[in-house]
Structure 1
């Protein structure tokens, strides 16, 4: 069966951000997410999950271990387990991106102050 954000399980997170579960298995998660302008995720890390963030549209800023990485469309970055990171949309437009996690990141997130 084909999957897209139009028929995937939807959820809301953060400040009016959207997520769509494209693959939702314990060993692998693929999520299509949308962040409106001027929104941010909380800084956190995962104990076991390795993640890959890939921007589909817009410009995202990732803070990884205190260093900023700007991602344009068709660019991505890998974040290993135990590495603090935070996604920002500092632009005036929506950012849409994929988050691929292996294993699934649910229940594996530790918020950093």
Structure 2
């Protein structure tokens, strides 16, 4: 079945951010996310999930274990399990990106302290 933002399961997270579940399996998750300007995710880590964040449009900052990594369009970064991370959109423009998790990260998220 062909999948897109138009027919994928949609949800809202954080402060008016969007997510579309493109692949939703226990062993693999692919989510297309949109963060409006000046929003951020909470700092967290996953016990089992390895994640790859890939920017489709816009610019984001991915904080990985205390290191801030600026990611532009068509750039990505891998985050291993047990490593605290947090996504920021510090611009006035939307940022859209893919989050690929293996295994799926649902139920595997733990809030992290700074």
User: What RMSD in Å do the two structures reach over aligned CA positions?
Assistant: 0.4
Q: Whole-Å Cα distance in 1 between the matches of residues 68 and 30 of structure 2?
A: 24
Aligned-pair distance for 1:66? 0.4
Q: Whole-Å Cα distance in 2 between the matches of residues 7 and 72 of structure 1?
A: 27
Secondary structure at the aligned position of 2:6 is classed as coil
The number of equivalent residue pairs is 113
The reply to whether residue 39 of structure 1 matches residue 39 of structure 2 is: yes
Equivalent positions of 1:1-113 (< 5 A) are 1-113=1-113
Aligned-pair distance for 1:88? 0.2
Q: Whole-Å Cα distance in 1 between the matches of residues 8 and 95 of structure 2?
A: 19
Q: Whole-Å Cα distance in 1 between the matches of residues 37 and 84 of structure 2?
A: 23
Gaps of 5+ in 1: none
Gaps of 5+ in 2: none
Aligned-pair distance for 1:103? 0.3
Dislocated runs of 4+, deviation >4 Å: none
Q: Whole-Å Cα distance in 1 between the matches of residues 35 and 71 of structure 2?
A: 14
TM-score, scaled relative to structure 2: 0.98
